[in-house]
């Protein structure tokens, strides 16, 4: 079935480690059989979509990006008054030999020190806090992956840049692997999207975090469906989640230890003979109807 407009599908979870990247990688391969796809890893703190696709090497393009600023001290102007040290809420500035010194790993770039410095010795400068990696996969769709550098801030802004980069490519459906939780990178992933596939596991923390991320999804009024991964490790709670989800329930995936062996060997789920493959194919069929 042809898609006549650009659609954005987000795979989100609330809790980490529930199978989000596994599902995203599989759906990218399946949707690519019918539509023009671009797969986007927006879990910029710990991107691993490329691993699930066996595409972690040989990137065709790597772009360093700047989405944040850090305080820089002009030691020639600094008079060592200590105003910046006293007012920095992040304790990122210290006086060393009567000169202000900024710790770049704790500086949040808020700009207060720049404002209060009586001699204008401090200014904010852009820093390279992340990168975007781009390649064409073996399945012939574009993969865009974002990475926030260690010790840097601004993951939500990095996600924005990753999505803007992905928009430069021709696609009918953009499949977005979101980060877990409900913070800035998740909000940035959900922004301007058409549908959210929420995946959870039948554990108290998984169910609780699903409800939390659903509050964000509902705030943006985005249509969604719910998937239970490893449903058979707790059939009672799975039944409770399924009943709670009602018509929003779109599928479940059973627990199979062989999945870990597959990923350890960089083997995408859709290239295996695991029952997981059939279960995700069933989920794909339902999703394909819902987004068209």
Alpha helix (H) residue ranges in 171-292: 184-190, 204-219, 235-245, 258-264, 275-291
Whether the per-residue pLDDT at 3 is higher than 70: the answer is no
Say yes or no to pLDDT of 41 above 80. yes
Mean pLDDT of the chain: 95
Owning domain of residue 198: 7-65+130-291
> 125-155 pLDDT, tens per residue?
999 999 999 999 999 999 999 999 998 888 9
Contacts of 261 (CB under 8 A, 6+ apart): none
Residue 273 makes CB contacts below 8 A (sequence gap 6+) with none
**Predicted pLDDT of residue 78:** 97
Provide the CATH number for the domain around residue 196. Answer: 3.40.50.300
* Residue 79, domain CATH: 3.30.70.20
Q: Do 146 and 244 share a domain, yes or no?
A: yes
Same domain, yes or no: 114 and 233: no
112 and 196 co-located in one domain: no
Domain count, the chain: 2
pLDDT in tens, 236-255: 999 999 999 999 999 999 99
- For residues 95 and 136, membership in a common domain is answered with no
Contact of 195 with 292, CB cutoff 8 Å = no
For residues 92 and 202, state if they share a domain. no
249 shares a domain with 179: yes
Please state the pTM of the whole predicted model: 0.91
Determine, yes or no, domain membership for 287. Answer: yes
Residues 103 and 19 occupy one common structural domain: no
Residue 1 has what pLDDT?
44
Residue 283 sits in the same domain as residue 220: yes
- Residue 205 placed within a domain: yes
2 occurs within a structural domain: no
């Amino acid at each position: 079935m042809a898609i006549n407009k650009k659609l954005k599908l987000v795979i989100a979870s609330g809790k980490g480690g529930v199978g989000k990247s596994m599902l995203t990688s599989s759906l990218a391969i399946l949707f690519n059989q019918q539509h023009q796809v671009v797969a986007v890893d927006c879990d910029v703190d710990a991107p691993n979509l490329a691993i699930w696709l066996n595409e972690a090497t040989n990137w065709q393009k790597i772009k360093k990006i700047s989405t944040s600023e850090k305080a820089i001290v002009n030691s020639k102007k600094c008079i060592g008054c200590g105003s910046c040290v006293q007012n920095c809420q992040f304790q990122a500035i210290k006086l060393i030999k009567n000169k202000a010194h900024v710790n770049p790993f704790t500086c949040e770039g808020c700009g207060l020190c720049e404002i209060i410095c009586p001699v204008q010795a401090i200014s904010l400068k852009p820093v390279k806090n992340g990168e975007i990696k781009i390649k064409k996969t073996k399945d012939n769709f574009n993969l865009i992956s974002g990475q926030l550098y260690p010790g840097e801030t601004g993951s939500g802004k990095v996600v924005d840049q990753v999505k803007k980069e992905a928009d430069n490519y021709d696609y009918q459906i953009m499949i977005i692997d979101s980060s877990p939780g409900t913070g800035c990178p998740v909000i940035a992933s959900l922004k301007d999207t058409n549908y959210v596939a929420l995946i959870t596991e039948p554990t108290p923390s998984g169910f609780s975090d699903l409800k939390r991320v659903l509050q964000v999804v509902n705030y943006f009024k985005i249509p969604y469906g719910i998937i239970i991964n490893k449903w058979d490790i707790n059939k009672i709670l799975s039944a409770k989640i399924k009943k709670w989800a009602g018509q929003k329930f779109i599928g479940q995936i059973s627990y199979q230890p062989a999945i870990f062996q597959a990923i350890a060997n960089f083997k995408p789920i859709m290239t295996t003979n695991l029952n997981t493959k059939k279960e995700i194919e069933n989920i794909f069929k339902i999703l394909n109807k819902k987004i068209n």
